[in-house]
Chain A
Amino acid sequence: MLLVIGYGNPLRRDDGVGPWLVEYVSCVIPDPFIEWRTCLQLTPEWAEPLSRADCAIFVDATAEGHSGQVMWSRLEVLDDLQSRGIVHHLIPQDLLTAAHFLYGARPDAYLLTVTGEDFSYGQGFSPSVQAQLPLAIEYLSSAASIQALLHFSPE
């Protein structure tokens, strides 16, 4: 199973780009091997479904980089699960590490980010993020399709 998780707060403008992208692309690629999920933030419960996935793609907004920048990176398991000592709010590497330590799973995992500039209260994206949505959609569509093919291509 390919698990795609878009997370962020849709009421904090650009922070909501992750869920928005996942909801949009899930309508375009109705692949039975892909599980599309959205949430406000990552919490420890996600470690369990992640442990059942062959591959995972996290989709998030970031403040790093220049506004509207679309970035793709591979995620690795952290050495120390406890280093960040957190309860509610996790980053994808925490979940990946938790899936490994708690459930013995090590799915391939990737992170797609879009750099936001406006994280204030409200709905709708800043012009720079809005302008890059087509590129982000293409990235996510292609990545999800490729990963689904790689992991679930017929013998």
Chain B
Amino acid sequence: MTQQILIDPVTRIEGHARITLQLDDSGQVADAQFHVTQLRGFEKFCEGRPFTEMPSLMARICGICPVSHLMASAKACDALLAVKIPAVAVKLRRIMNLAQIAQSHALSFFYLSAPDLLLGMDEDPAKRNVFGVHEVEPTLARDGIKLRQTGQQIIELLGGKRIHPAWVVPGGVSEPLNAAKRDQIKAMLPEALTIAQRTLDWFQTVIDRYTEEISAFANFPTLFMGLVNPSGGLELYDGQLRITDPAGVPITDDFDPQDYARYLAEAAESYSYLKSPYYKPLGYPDGLYRVGPLARLNIISHCGTPLADQAFAAFRQLDRQSSFHYHFARLVEILYCLESIDRLLDEPDILSEHVRAHAIPNNNEGIGVSEAPRGTLIHHYQIDSNGLMTSARLMIATGHNNLAMNRGVLQVARRFVQADHLSEGMLNRVEAVIRTFDPCLSCSTHALGQMPLHIKLLAPDGHLLDEVRR
């Protein structure tokens, strides 16, 4: 007799989702599905709008990472204008993108995952939150707040506000940086770097507690994808796309992100609104790949900043197939982001007032690609002769990881879930594997964390066998 366990909703992720575990006759997990239950519709309702609205409009996709959508959207619009934006505008956009990645990683690590990592997967769910962390490690709780605040303040200083800043525009940015703001940002960085390094040091002391999770949290060979710079180093804004095998060896030449459609396609499944991109030459679903911090560090030869490179060396000693190490990779990238911001602010032209190229549309198709906190983000627009949008295609970072998340849920469920005994820690591990990817299913709903975990155990005829709520 087959049975089904439903985890609805999945908690401490960005958005709405549920998990179904299908049991076989012997009560073992036979299949698992990660359902994304919300539909956003941005690709459709932006049709007919002026392309110049896209950065601001697309930023509304997400309340946590609007900056990432601003970047990809503005780059797509740059391509529509066919302009090369001023060098200083690239640097300023980079700074904002780096700040965004740092603050988003801080949210993921300190607020969403640290409760599991510090308090344990079996701790009372009422205590598994950032304030629960305070009781055990008050410094860690304060550090999380400070680090996220630093990233947000940098975004606010550059863009005028923390959420949905309208500063990144087609052709560059709308305002130059002034000396006072530059100095203000630079003054924040030493403390933030100290916090990031302290957190990494702490994490390295506890990581050995999680050997079982490391071995079972989406730990399987996949392809990896992300941007790289010309020297094969970490790249978060521009560069070429690289796809590697599980060992980090490129399986094709690095390619211009404009050519993404030659290599990537998307499949749709009836159980989820989230599409499943795959690597075309291997087909669906064999062409699954991972993106985001783990993938980015798996495809590069170096980060390019001193502290991050030191941490990167330690990262390379870990099992590169385990998605548990997304956590470690995030901490490495936070260091990289903070060091890179500092470096960019020292550039001699950083206060230049030439920050925007003006043009009318010169192309009817534009593609913008950048790295968001969760992975590669692609915006692909088409416009008519009046500059009105005729088509938008968005490949969101979380989507790239969809196949791997589904497989990861199945792996964890098979390891930890036994149908005759549903325990909180067991179910939390099923959710925690999703959290390693830090999926952003739509932050703009702002409903996470308050929702109860609801698990139903159903018999094949639909009647309720067991139920757990929190």
A86 to B131, CA, bound (A): 9
Task: Identify A102's interface contact among B132, B142, B152, CB under 8 A.
Answer: B142
Residues from chain B with a CB closer than 8 A to the CB of A89 are: 446-447, 449-450
Task: Identify B448's interface contact among A40, A82, A87, A98, CB under 8 A.
Answer: A87
Given known A-B contacts A87-B111, A87-B112, A41 and B126 have beta carbons under 8 A apart? no
Contact with A along B114-150 (1 / 0, CB 8 A): 0000000000011111111011001001101110110
* B449/A85 in contact, CB under 8 A: yes
* A48/B446 in contact, CB under 8 A: no
Q: List 15 A-B contacts (CB under 8 A).
A: A40-B446, A44-B131, A44-B144, A45-B145, A48-B145, A82-B135, A85-B132, A85-B449, A86-B450, A87-B12, A101-B131, A101-B134, A102-B131, A102-B141, A102-B145
Q: Does B163 contact A (CB under 8 A)?
A: yes
Residues from chain B with a CB closer than 8 A to the CB of A88 are: 111, 446, 448-449
Q: Does B221 contact A (CB under 8 A)?
A: no
Shortest CB distance B59–A (Å): 13
Contact with B along A83-95 (1 / 0, CB 8 A): 1011111000000
* B163/A40 in contact, CB under 8 A: yes
* B125/A85 in contact, CB under 8 A: yes
Residues from chain A with a CB closer than 8 A to the CB of B149 are: 45, 48
Task: Identify B130's interface contact among A44, A48, A83, CB under 8 A.
Answer: A44
A41 to B443, CA, bound (A): 12
* B127/A82 in contact, CB under 8 A: yes
Shortest CB distance A16–B (Å): 14
Residues from chain A with a CB closer than 8 A to the CB of B135 are: 82
**Residue total for B at the interface (Cβ-Cβ under 8 A):** 30
* B134/A81 in contact, CB under 8 A: yes
* B129/A87 in contact, CB under 8 A: yes
Q: Does A47 contact B (CB under 8 A)?
A: yes
* A98/B446 in contact, CB under 8 A: no
Q: Which chain A residues in 77-122 approach chain B with CB under 8 Å?
A: 81-83, 85-89, 98, 101-103
Binding site for B on A (CB under 8 A): 39-41, 44-45, 47-48, 81-83, 85-89, 98, 101-103
* A48/B448 in contact, CB under 8 A: no
Q: Does B176 contact A (CB under 8 A)?
A: no
Q: Which residue of A lies closest to B138 (CB)?
A: A102
Q: Does B232 contact A (CB under 8 A)?
A: no
A88 to B148, CA, bound (A): 12
Residues from chain A with a CB closer than 8 A to the CB of B131 are: 44, 81-82, 98, 101-102
Residues from chain A with a CB closer than 8 A to the CB of B448 are: 87-88
A82 to B125, CA, bound (A): 10
Residues from chain B with a CB closer than 8 A to the CB of A44 are: 111, 130-131, 144-145, 148
Q: Does B18 contact A (CB under 8 A)?
A: no
Q: Which chain B residues in 215-269 approach chain A with CB under 8 Å?
A: none
A44 to B128, CA, bound (A): 15
Residues from chain A with a CB closer than 8 A to the CB of B129 are: 82, 85-87
Q: Which chain B residues in 432-462 approach chain A with CB under 8 Å?
A: 446-450
A48 to B134, CA, bound (A): 14
Besides the known contacts A40-B63, A44-B144, 19 further A-B residue pairs in the complex with CB atoms under 8 A apart: A39-B162, A39-B163, A40-B163, A44-B111, A45-B149, A47-B145, A82-B126, A82-B127, A82-B129, A83-B126, A85-B127, A87-B12, A88-B446, A88-B448, A89-B449, A101-B131, A101-B134, A102-B145, A103-B142
Q: Which chain B residues in 339-398 approach chain A with CB under 8 Å?
A: none
* B446/A82 in contact, CB under 8 A: no
Residues from chain B with a CB closer than 8 A to the CB of A98 are: 131
Residues from chain B with a CB closer than 8 A to the CB of A45 are: 145, 148-149, 152
Shortest CB distance A7–B (Å): 12
Shortest CB distance A112–B (Å): 22
Residues from chain A with a CB closer than 8 A to the CB of B446 are: 40-41, 88-89
Task: Identify B449's interface contact among A48, A87, A102, CB under 8 A.
Answer: A87
Q: Which residue of B lies closest to A101 (CB)?
A: B134
A47 to B162, CA, bound (A): 16
Q: Which residue of A lies closest to B447 (CB)?
A: A89
Shortest CB distance B299–A (Å): 31
Residues from chain B with a CB closer than 8 A to the CB of A102 are: 131, 134, 138, 141-142, 145
Residues from chain B with a CB closer than 8 A to the CB of A41 are: 446
Residues from chain B with a CB closer than 8 A to the CB of A82 are: 126-127, 129, 131-132, 135
A89 to B443, CA, bound (A): 12
| Top 10 A-B pairs, shortest CB-CB distance | A87-B449, A45-B149, A81-B131, A86-B449, A85-B126, A85-B129, A82-B132, A87-B111, A82-B131, A82-B127
A14 to B129, CA, bound (A): 30
Residues from chain B with a CB closer than 8 A to the CB of A47 are: 145
A81 to B132, CA, bound (A): 8
Shortest CB distance B141–A (Å): 6
A29 to B100, CA, bound (A): 33
Shortest CB distance B369–A (Å): 28
Residues from chain B with a CB closer than 8 A to the CB of A85 are: 125-129, 132, 449
Shortest CB distance A78–B (Å): 10
Shortest CB distance B102–A (Å): 13
A41 to B12, CA, bound (A): 17
A83 to B152, CA, bound (A): 27
A98 to B135, CA, bound (A): 11
Shortest CB distance B70–A (Å): 16
Q: Which of A82, A85, A101 has the most CB of B within 10 A?
A: A85
